[in-house]
């Protein structure tokens, strides 16, 4: 299975979660939970990370945060390693505590922070651990809902300031209570297993951070590529090359210069949209074996001809949707 793909930038908002190895507990008692919360505070200070909400469950955690530097991976790796070392030392054990790498979801803006905080705080309720959220001490809920004293590193203003009511804590309590009926709406804005926001936001992230080399074994790369309309990419690339795509599709014989454009279009669409050779061939009216031959020729030519490689990469950068 491919490694998770990280998009990191200054001011990035993220919903982060991680589970115990083999889904085993990562907290044995309240002392472990306090150790983890202390580590969150240290991580926030050391890596310039803003923490907005959190919840600790028995075998996983959720944190809603902002990285003021492009350092999400370093921050979360430090947190996992630091807590694992302290947990292992206390419980006389060794080895991994967490199940692989943490998962992260990019969040568009503060409006989604509000909705995600409700989702995060409702975790113990959904799990059936408690009957009322006030009974659960290992989350940031009571700070938001009742104004309980918070850790210095917990920032509540970006979320609470969204309420116009005089009693913002009461307003937040009511929001969380109502959220059971609204939760499905949040996940309608969940895209490609890695982003929460509008389609326009997803498009901006995809355009800016789409990697030059997709890896189909990485699920996020594959999902992001599949979300791009091949016809739109083809239309844009054909416009850049000033060639008639309908003529290329319909003609059995094409000139050498047009064939070069056709081969470049095949490569660009295949790469940008992470299509299979068969899917690419269907788009151009050629066989999958012909696509395979074209792709092989394109790679060989780019290795031998640096000017041609620069041209291909330039057009690819213009075609990223």
Looking at the fold, whether 268 and 132 belong to one and the same domain comes out as no
Please state, in angstroms and rounded to a whole number, the distance separating the CA atoms of residues 156 and 142: 11
Greater confidence (108 vs 219) lies with 108
The string of pLDDT tens digits covering residues 40-65 is 999 999 999 999 999 999 999 999 99
118/78 same-domain check: yes
In a domain, 221, yes or no: no
Q: State mean pLDDT over 243-259.
A: 79
Let me know if residue 211 belongs to a domain: no
Comparing 36 with 303, which gets the higher pLDDT? Answer: 36
The reported pLDDT for the residue numbered 68 is 97
The answer on 112 and 194 residing in a single domain is yes
Answer whether residue 222 is part of any domain: no
152 and 102: one domain? yes
167 and 18 in a single domain? The answer is: yes
Whether residues 62 and 175 fall in one domain: yes
Is 130 part of any domain? yes
The secondary structure of 42-108, three-state, reads HHHHHHCEEEEEEEECCCEEEEEEEECCCCHHHHHHHHHHHHHHHHHHHHCCCCCCECCCCEEEEEC
**How many domains does one find in the chain?**
2
pLDDT at 2 over 50: no
pLDDT tens-place string over residues 155-168: 999 999 999 999 99
Highest mean pLDDT among 30-39, 110-119, 268-277: 30-39
Q: Is residue 179 part of a domain?
A: yes
Indicate whether 302 belongs to any domain: yes
pLDDT tens, position by position, 135-150 = 999 999 999 999 999 8
* Dihedral Cα 307, 308, 310, 314, nearest 10 deg: 140
- Residue 161 in any domain: the answer is yes
Residues 104 and 252 in one domain: no
- The pLDDT > 90 percentage for the chain reads 50
pLDDT at 139: 97
Q: What is the pLDDT of residue 207?
A: 73
CATH for 174: 3.30.70.1290
**Which pTM value belongs to this model?**
0.69
CATH assignment at residue 248: 1.10.1750.10
pLDDT of residue 6 exceeding 90 = no
**Average pLDDT over every residue of 180-203:** 75
Q: Is residue 212 a contact partner of residue 316, using CB atoms and an 8 Å limit?
A: yes
Boundaries of domain holding 56:
12-201
pLDDT in the model for residue 1:
42
Which stretch of 258-262, 272-276, 284-288, 300-304 has the lowest confidence by average pLDDT? 272-276
236: in domain: yes
Instruction: Let me know whether 137 and 28 are in one domain.
Output: yes
Q: Is 86 exposed, middle or buried (0-12, 13-18, 19+ CB in 10 A)?
A: middle
């Amino acid at each position: 299975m491919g490694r998770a793909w990280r998009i990191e930038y200054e001011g990035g908002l993220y919903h982060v979660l991680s589970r115990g190895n083999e889904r085993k507990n990562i907290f044995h008692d309240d002392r472990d939970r306090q150790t983890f919360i202390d580590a969150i505070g240290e991580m926030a200070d050391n890596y310039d990370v803003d923490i907005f909400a959190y919840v600790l469950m028995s075998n996983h955690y959720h944190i809603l945060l902002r990285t003021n530097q492009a350092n999400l991976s370093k921050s979360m790796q430090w947190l996992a390693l630091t807590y694992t070392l302290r947990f292992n030392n206390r419980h006389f054990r060794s080895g991994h505590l967490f199940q692989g790498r943490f998962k992260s979801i990019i969040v568009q803006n503060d409006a989604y922070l509000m909705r995600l905080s409700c989702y995060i705080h409702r975790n113990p309720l959904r799990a059936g651990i408690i009957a009322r959220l006030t009974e659960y001490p290992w989350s940031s809920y009571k700070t938001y809902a009742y104004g309980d004293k918070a850790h210095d590193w917990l920032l509540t203003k970006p979320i609470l300031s969204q309420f116009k009511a005089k009693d913002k804590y009461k307003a937040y309590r009511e929001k969380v209570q109502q959220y059971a009926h609204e939760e499905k709406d949040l996940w309608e804005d969940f895209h490609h297993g890695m982003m929460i926001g509008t389609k326009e936001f997803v498009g901006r992230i995809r355009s800016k951070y789409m990697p030059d080399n997709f890896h189909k074994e990485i699920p996020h790369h594959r999902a992001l590529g599949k979300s791009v309309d091949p016809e739109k990419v083809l239309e844009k690339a054909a416009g850049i090359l000033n060639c008639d795509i309908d003529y290329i599709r319909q003609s059995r014989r094409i000139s050498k210069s047009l064939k070069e454009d056709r081969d470049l279009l095949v490569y660009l669409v295949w790469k940008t949209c992470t299509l299979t050779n068969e899917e690419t061939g269907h788009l151009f009216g050629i066989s999958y074996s012909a696509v395979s031959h074209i792709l092989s020729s394109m790679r060989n030519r780019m290795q031998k001809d640096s000017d041609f490689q620069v041209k291909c990469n330039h057009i690819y950068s213009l075609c990223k949707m």
